[in-house]
Structure 1
Amino acid sequence: MAEKADRAAAMRDDVQYVTIHGKKRAFVLKGSGPALLLLHGLACDHTTWTPVIDQLAKKYTVIAPDLLGHGLSDKPRADYTLGGYANGMRDLLTVLGIDKVTVVGHSFGGGVAMQFAYQFPERTQRVMLVATGGLGPEVTPLIKLIQVPGWFRVMGVLTLPGVRHLETFALRTAHEYGDVGPLRKVTRDLDEVADIVESWKDRRTRFAIRHLVRAVIDWRGQIVTMSDRAYLSDAMPMAVVWGRDDQVIPVRHASNAAALAPDVRVEVLPDAGHFPHKDHPEEFARILDDFVSSTEPASYNRARFRRMLKAGGSAPASPVPTLEGAPEPQAATSA
């Protein structure tokens, strides 16, 4: 636990800031070489990638932002839709002078990665989805509760000093002592849950998370799917990585990716939960490096894109789907 805190503290020392459209964005930028954009999941921040950033930075330019409403970035009243987040990543990359990237998205960040690839195919070389949303409706009931009326006020009480400290202590203790034996599947990610609970002491963070969740989840589960525009990115290399013991989004969703995109690479890591990049950082870095090294980057062709749009759903399925109900491509606004 102390080692994790030390790594996170060191990573925060590397944080840089840029203001875009009046909103402060936090990000980590390390290394040189082909660019990797690492997008964290719901209620997390760039530190979720701490175990792999230094390894990847030996060969790649790694950009790990805090999405708006998360971590050290601003938490304004703003556009928290998938399209808005994709626009924000486009703007950040433009300010940093980075033209093309391989996008790696974890959980909700996978949805942002797919939306980015749809809105900006000319800037997307590859997509890797890690325990991603958008491949099926099922999701843990704890996330469904966020969009229930009253969650904001209840969580405000549960994150008061004292109460919050007791909760996070219990979660981290359960993680530490349950990390062996039959309870490992359940307790594996509780340290990450403790970090999320800690972040919710900030009402602005709770506001952002509530609005974000309401855009993608209802009482039946995920309300977005990556299937309806799959044909639009026919030449985009895609990989999917999952933890076999994921308790947040079922690992069986990984097989849905193969049905939508026959050429997709699927890796299921044993003894891993919802954060396979944290459970097995060296193996994850190896898989990502192999994916980038062994595939040619996508090449965007406007005429081809136009032909596929006209053909619509009659066109062949593609390796990089996007999200049903998500905004159409936008080039002028940003979250």
Structure 2
Amino acid sequence: MSEVEFVTIHGHRRAFVRKGSGPVLLLLHGLACDHTTWSPVIDRLAKHYTVIAPDLLGHGLSDKPRADYTLGGYANGMRDLLTLLGIDRVTVVGHSFGGGIAMQFAYQFPERTERMLLVAPGGLGPEVTMLIKLIQAPGWEPVMRLLTQPGLRHASTTALRVLSTVETAHTRDLDEIADILESWKDPRTRFAIRHLVRAAIDWKGQIVTMSDRAYLTETVPVAVVWGRDDQVLPVHQLESVAVLAPRAATYVFELAGHFPHKDHPERFVEVVHDFVRTTQPSKYSRARMRQLLQRGSLTPVRQAEGGEAPVEPVRALA
């Protein structure tokens, strides 16, 4: 288990794990998770890279204040953390909601982004599981307050972990849900998660999308990994990558759910290593960025909405 370090940024304590040496990987976890979601891969990655895996504000061992829980706010927080650690540039790896933060980070700070690897990321389509939509419902807080009472919480998490041992597409990630339910015993965590969801999701689904700015990824190497059995964000959202970011490398992990890096850690590390080894880090050019902005995103957006662009096959990893 890696040692957790702490820094204080703008009066709020931030937890993170730092391990290894070499090119820097910034690992961003998903909604209601923490740095431990990367535990199966951190040691392997640290053999080749400097790994920075923070607990995002409102999660894990980081503070849970009344604060800015928007994607932009999280991207700013990562910029400030890296600055304190003396790190200028990173390959940013984001899972789920962390994938949305990764895209926002690359958009706000292209000069600090070498590459972007997205793992079942938010922001590629509106669809999202109803369980996340319900977090904004009026009765969610009292229901969670009841479900996280000691006796009921223990029974629920035990049942979820037992069911997770059954190998089906619908039970694959129940152990993660058990960990999330356990973390929600802290009302400050529930507060942070609720505000985070309200900033990114409404009853129609995901509000924030990268489709209008995806053309800017021409300047940054991109890879996207998804699990075939993902029940949180459907794998077919990966098809839009071929339209929105046609140069991206795409991978589907068979027999994997919403956490492909946990279902197949060795394969995931191979993908990360191959991605870093075979791509050159992005070099920020203000002139190039200006050209892209002037050209605009009309063509790729029209293709994505009209469905006229061919969808390239993705790589399936059995």
- 2:97 corresponds to: 108
- 2:311 corresponds to: none
Check the 8 A contact 2:218/2:245 in 1, yes or no.
no
- 1:252 corresponds to: 236
- 1:237 corresponds to: 221
Check the 8 A contact 2:217/2:245 in 1, yes or no.
no
The superposition leaves residues 26-75 of structure 1 with CA deviations (integer Å, 9 ceiling, x where unpaired) of 00000000000000000000000000000000000000000000000000
Query: d(CA) in 1 for partners of 2:299 and 2:236?
Result: 26
The superposition leaves residues 156-200 of structure 1 with CA deviations (integer Å, 9 ceiling, x where unpaired) of 111111111111011111112x13xxxx21111111000000000
Check the 8 A contact 1:29/1:61 in 2, yes or no.
yes
Indicate how the Cα distance of structure 1 residues 283 and 103 shifts in structure 2: closer, same or farther if over 3 A, else same: same
- 1:212 corresponds to: 196
**Are residues 1:283 and 2:267 paired?**
yes
Cα shift at 1:304:
2.1
- 2:125 corresponds to: 136
Query: d(CA) in 2 for partners of 1:196 and 1:158?
Result: 12
Look up the equivalent residue of 1:101 and give its one-letter code.
V
Determine what percentage of the aligned residue pairs are the same residue. 71
Tell me the secondary structure at the aligned position of residue 280 of structure 2: coil
Cα shift at 1:259:
1.1
| TM-score when normalising by structure 1 | 0.88
- 2:171 corresponds to: 187
**Are residues 1:86 and 2:70 paired?**
no
List gaps (5 residues or longer) in structure 2: 302-318
Query: d(CA) in 1 for partners of 2:109 and 2:119?
Result: 20
Query: d(CA) in 2 for partners of 1:127 and 1:252?
Result: 20
Tell me the secondary structure at the aligned position of residue 92 of structure 2: strand
| Number of aligned residue pairs | 301
List gaps (5 residues or longer) in structure 1: 1-9, 318-335
Look up the equivalent residue of 1:30 and give its one-letter code.
K
- 2:12 corresponds to: 23
Query: d(CA) in 2 for partners of 1:239 and 1:308?
Result: 20
Cα shift at 1:306:
2.4
Query: d(CA) in 2 for partners of 1:238 and 1:35?
Result: 16
Cα shift at 1:309:
2.5
- 2:307 corresponds to: none
Check the 8 A contact 2:16/2:35 in 1, yes or no.
yes
Greater RCO (CA < 8 Å, at least 6 residues apart): 1
Check the 8 A contact 1:231/1:315 in 2, yes or no.
no
Query: d(CA) in 2 for partners of 1:131 and 1:230?
Result: 16
**Are residues 1:222 and 2:211 paired?**
no
- 2:315 corresponds to: none
- 1:124 corresponds to: 113
Among candidates 194, 198, 201, match of residue 182 of structure 2: 198
Tell me the secondary structure at the aligned position of residue 31 of structure 2: coil
Check the 8 A contact 2:244/2:300 in 1, yes or no.
no
| TM-score when normalising by structure 2 | 0.92
Cα shift at 1:314:
4.9
Query: d(CA) in 2 for partners of 1:231 and 1:131?
Result: 20
Query: d(CA) in 1 for partners of 2:121 and 2:288?
Result: 28
Tell me the secondary structure at the aligned position of residue 42 of structure 2: helix
Check the 8 A contact 1:121/1:233 in 2, yes or no.
no
- 2:158 corresponds to: 169
Cα shift at 1:310:
3.3
Residues 251-260 or 67-76, more deviating: 251-260
Check the 8 A contact 2:200/2:207 in 1, yes or no.
yes
Aligned-residue Cα RMSD (Å) equals: 1.2
